[in-house]
Structure formats: structure tokens, C-alpha cells
Amino acid sequence: MGIRKIRKIGDDILTKRSREVKEMDHRTATLIDDMLDTMYDADGVGLAAPQVGILKRIVVIDVSAEANQPIVLINPKILEMSGEQTGDEACLSVPGKAGQVTRPNYVKVRAKNREMQEIEIEGTELLARALCHELDHLEGMLYVERVKGGLHDAGNKEQEED
């Protein structure tokens, strides 16, 4: 288990663009393991490397109810998006808050998996939202910049935290 410290809003690193991962090495593999541990420990549905202070284009996501279907995406790019959904969004880097964000209801993403093989993943609803949210982190963007109507207290644990 490697739980890393989650950077919070106001930390400069969250506003920076992350760099492509060129190859899988021990350091990067450990980072991915630690990101998964950190996400699950914090009850999040997604985490991007800059949130643990590393400017690499890596995100981990798990939107399954049982929290047992991890998705690891390296150098992800959105290929397609369609539709629209508006709903509350939250972020482990903005603790205790949530706000309404409009996102596509469907996205298709190309990325590399942890074996550096090219994969494509399609998501709707929560997965589409998580993909967009996490990819924004790689551009140095937090969801609070996309919120309409301001932030409110998340209040309960059922709130999605990604």
C-alpha cells in the first residue's frame, strides 16, 4: 500500500499541464499502484497524477459500485464525445464541496494501459463524467472552473468524489 498525499485546490501543481509518459518503468508502475491505493483509500472514483504532485499524463478511475474495476489510462485522448449531462461533481482536491457541471453524456477515449498497449474505452453517464474530469486535471484544470451556480457543501458520503 502506498497512500500519497492528495494536493488541494490552491496548490500550483494542479494548474499545470502534465507531460506524456514515454515508457513504463519501475517508478511509473509504483506511481500507478499508489494512485489506485490513494483513490480507494479516499473513496474516490478517479484520481489524476497531478493530484499526487506528479505531472505525468496518468489517470485512474473506478466507477463500479464494488470499487473493484480499476481503469488505468496513460496519455489519454478524447476521440469522440456526444450528448450532454448536468449534475453534481466533486473532486478529492476540493474536499467537502460539489457543484453542477455540464459534461458530454458519452465519450470515447484512446490511451495506453499499464502494459503500454493501446486501448480504447467508451463511457456514458458517470464514467463519461469521470473521464472528462480526470482528463481536465492533465491540462491543469479543476472542475470548479466549469461549475455553474457556485460550489455547495457536499455534506454526505454518497456524493461522488472524483
Using the rule CB under 5 A, give the single segment among 21-29, 75-83, 88-96, 151-159 that binds Ni ion: 88-96
Query: Is 134 labeled as catalytic in the residue annotation?
Result: yes
Q: Under the phi-then-psi rule, with left for phi > 0, alpha for psi from -120 to 50, and beta for the rest, what region is 121?
A: beta
Nearest to 35 by CA among 77, 69, 1, 66: 1
Using the rule CB under 5 A, give the single segment among 65-73, 85-93, 100-108, 111-119 that binds Ni ion: 85-93
Q: Strand runs (DSSP E) across 1-128, as ranges?
A: 46-48, 58-61, 71-82, 85-89, 97-103, 106-112, 118-124
74 is an interface residue for Ni ion by CB under 5 A: no
98 is an interface residue for Ni ion by CB under 5 A: no
Q: Which CB, 63 or 91, lies closer to Ni ion?
A: 91
91 is an interface residue for Ni ion by CB under 5 A: yes
Indicate which residue of 89, 134, 160, 161 is catalytic.
134
Where in the sequence numbering do the catalytic residues fall?
Answer: 134
Q: Under the rule (CB under 5 A), what is the footprint of Ni ion? A: 91
